Amino acid sequence: MKKIIKIAGSGLLSLIVAFLGFSYFGNYQPSEVEEMDIVCDAKSPSLTPGATVKVLSWNVQYMAGKNYVFFYDKLDGSGKDSRPSRQDIDLTFDEVARVIKEENPDIILIQEVDENSKRTDYENQVEILKNKISTEYGCYTSAFYHKSAFVPHPMIMGSVGLKMATYSKYKMTKSIRHQLEKIPANILMKQYNLKRAVLETWISIEGSDKPLALFNTHLDAFAQGYDTMEKQVKETKELLDSKTKGDIPWLIGGDFNLLPPGESYARLADDEKAYYQKETELQKIFQNYSGIPALKDVNSKEFPKWFTHIPNGRSSVPDRTIDFIFYSPNLKIGKYYVRHQDTQKISDHMPLVAYFTLPGKAEKKQ
């Protein structure tokens, strides 16, 4: 009997060791700073000093559409859905591509696109979207912030790959992934949790040794009880500060999962306030840099015009602003808006669009 128990114990230990090994090696283990691959047409032009560029930032919710309440959409994980249908994925892809073609931005910052995820049939959504939009977008890059060979969650039970992607009509010269603070967890859960990041991309400017630095990000959600969001904002701001000190023009767009300073928190229903702090962590960026939407917009009488998010299963209309574009002091802001009119059935976020003018003298048109 002792021999049987010893064999059983040894077998159980081997299984535990194997599972722990898989949990580490089967999950993405990013470095603090990593250089990402760029796909870029050699014929892609550089930006010119003084040029105006149109930027679109959009969390497309891995092309899932708006017919679902996913398990993570509720704080207690009680959402009933685990994945979108094939039909909804295809339809949403076409709708996202339609909006991008109509807007025709020079730079696209996309959050929540899948690659090799069970829930979206293991497709590479970065490449699919590239092929659905204009061939003018000769350059693109992307970075994972969730990647696992197998997640043993009852609503997943398969591979996961979640990315942010940046597309440009202009020449990219470098792409760097910056790891952000992670939500505290035990050693096992840390392997499977999302690993949020900032993707930095350089766009060359003709005649200048300084690029336009693009930052694309999707900060954490559901970090209640921890100071993770504060730390992620601090780390993000440090990246922006470093570019500002070097007089490098920059902009950052994405889903910050945070409210702007002012009246936004007070306007939320009581049960929705649990998702945020009364004093937003984003205050530290707004104190130093201008944002789109601006504080005068989100705190004006027309504040609903600037809502960017419709939380699945918790609201049927846009009810908060959590997506932003911030920009350096040496960029000049032009027209900007949230495209509301035909995007509320495409994703749980709506696209944010803005025009920026680079420093320098614009070329005269012949």
Per-residue confidence band for 75, with pLDDT thresholds at 50, 70 and 90: confident
Q: Are residues 335 and 208 in the same domain?
A: yes
Per-residue confidence band for 10, with pLDDT thresholds at 50, 70 and 90: low
8 A C-beta contact, residue 25 and residue 18:
no
- Which residues form the domain of 239? 31-357
Q: Are residues 126 and 26 in the same domain?
A: no
Q: Are residues 187 and 279 in the same domain?
A: yes
Q: Are residues 177 and 276 in the same domain?
A: yes
In a domain, residue 191? The reply is: yes
Per-residue confidence band for 224, with pLDDT thresholds at 50, 70 and 90: confident
Say if residue 251's pLDDT is above 70. yes
Q: How large is the average pLDDT for residues 226-253?
A: 97
Q: CA separation (Å) from 167 to 61, 320, 327, 352?
A: 17, 27, 18, 15
The CATH number linked to 149 is 3.60.10.10
pLDDT of residue 366: 43
Count of the separate structural domains present in the chain:
2
Q: Are residues 46 and 1 in the same domain?
A: no
Q: How far apart are CA 322 and CA 335, in angstroms?
A: 20
Q: H or E stretch including 201?
A: strand 197-203
Residue 14, judged by CB atoms within 10 A of its CB (0-12, 13-18, 19+), counts as: exposed
In a domain, residue 362? The reply is: no
In a domain, residue 364? The reply is: no
Say if residue 344's pLDDT is above 70. yes
The DSSP secondary-structure symbol of 275 reads G
Place of tokens 């049987």: 4
Q: What is the pLDDT of residues 308-341, one digit of tens each?
A: 999 999 999 999 999 999 999 999 999 999 999 9
**pLDDT above 70: percentage of residues in the chain:** 93
Single out the residue of 154, 142, 73 nearest to residue 111, CA to CA: 142
Q: How far apart are CA 62 and CA 70, in angstroms?
A: 12
Q: Are residues 13 and 121 in the same domain?
A: no
In a domain, residue 114? The reply is: yes
Q: How far apart are CA 346 and CA 98, in angstroms?
A: 11
Q: CA separation (Å) from 144 to 149, 162, 174?
A: 13, 6, 16
pLDDT of residue 25: 85
**pLDDT above 90: percentage of residues in the chain:** 89
Q: Are residues 125 and 2 in the same domain?
A: no
Token readout for 53 is: 């560029």
In a domain, residue 144? The reply is: yes
Per-residue confidence band for 225, with pLDDT thresholds at 50, 70 and 90: confident
In a domain, residue 230? The reply is: yes
Q: Are residues 18 and 37 in the same domain?
A: no
Q: Are residues 24 and 35 in the same domain?
A: no
Q: Are residues 2 and 144 in the same domain?
A: no
Order of strands across the sheet that contains 52-59: 38-40, 139-151, 158-168, 107-114, 52-59, 352-357, 332-338
Say if residue 363's pLDDT is above 70. no
8 A C-beta contact, residue 141 and residue 38:
yes
Residue 124, judged by CB atoms within 10 A of its CB (0-12, 13-18, 19+), counts as: middle
Token readout for 26 is: 């089967």
In a domain, residue 363? The reply is: no
Q: Are residues 102 and 14 in the same domain?
A: no
Strands 250-255 and 212-218: parallel
In a domain, residue 85? The reply is: yes
pLDDT of residue 364: 56
Say if residue 7's pLDDT is above 60. no
Per-residue confidence band for 12, with pLDDT thresholds at 50, 70 and 90: low
Q: Are residues 2 and 74 in the same domain?
A: no
8 A C-beta contact, residue 240 and residue 291:
no
